[in-house]
Each structure stands twice: as C-alpha cells, then as structure tokens.
C-alpha cells in the first residue's frame, strides 16, 4: 500500500523545515488532532495512537544527505514507513513530499486505509501550516 501527498510550495528553506522535522518533540504538534496519544520513548522513538488502530511505535531516522526523514514502524504486525522528503525550490522556498509505504494483508489494508489516508493528509496539512 502506498500513499503519496505533496505540500504546496512553502516559504521556508529546506534546511529550516528539515531542522524542524528531525526533532521528535515537534511531532506531537505536527500530528495534532489525528492522534489520540503521543509518548516520547527516547531521542529516536515515539509511540502514537491513530484512530482505532493499536499503539504504533515509530523510529525516526535522519537522512540529512537527501533532506529526508524516515518514520519506521517497529511493529511486525504493522510493517510500514513514512518518508518526509524536503525538496528545495530555491534558497527561500521548498516543497515537502510525504510518502507512506506499507505491507499488509488485504483485510488489514481495507480496515486501515481510510484512517491512514486521513493521517497522511493531516501530516501534510500540518507541515503546510508551520509557522517559524
């Protein structure tokens, strides 16, 4: 299962956005209303609850060479990753791509597709609404 969303052009440099999205402490604000619970486990992991889905532990992996952040599920039953790629338009503006990649049984995919699409949409919208 793949879900792809792109932000409108943002009036911030790719470095400024990247510096924001690599900090776990910012994800409670970024994820906002779409999650029921947020718990920081350590400097690279946090746990969230999306809708009626079970708690999900995510590991944040930085890729500063490609201006990309990966959120990787540590749950073998919900095998997925979210890639947040920041692409520079020019020195003062950027666009962000949010990509979800998951491997699920067809039954599980049917049950979680709608909540995950709403979650990815919300993630994109929150990034678009960032104010520095």
Pick the more confident residue, 6 or 123: 6
Question: For residue 13, what is the DSSP state?
Answer: -
Report pLDDT digits (tens) over 85-117: 999 999 999 999 999 999 888 888 888 888 889
Q: The pTM is what?
A: 0.90
Give long-range contacts, CB 8 A cutoff, 24+ apart: 52-61. Answer: 52/115, 53/78, 53/112, 53/115, 54/78, 58/82, 60/22, 60/24, 60/27
Q: How confident is the model at residue 77 (pLDDT cuts 50, 70, 90)?
A: confident
């Amino acid at each position: 299962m793949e879900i792809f969303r792109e932000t409108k052009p943002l009036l911030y440099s790719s470095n400024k956005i990247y510096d924001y999205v690599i900090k776990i402490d910012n994800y409670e604000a970024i994820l906002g209303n779409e999650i029921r619970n947020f718990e920081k486990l350590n400097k690279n992991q946090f746990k969230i609850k999306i809708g009626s889905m079970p708690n999900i532990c995510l590991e944040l992996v930085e890729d500063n060479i490609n201006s990309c952040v990966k959120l990787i599920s540590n749950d073998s039953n919900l095998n997925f990753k979210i890639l947040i790629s920041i692409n520079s338009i020019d020195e003062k503006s950027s666009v962000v791509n949010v990509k979800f990649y998951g491997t699920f049984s067809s039954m599980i995919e049917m049950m979680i597709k709608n909540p995950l699409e709403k979650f990815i949409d919300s993630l994109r919208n929150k990034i678009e609404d960032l104010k520095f």
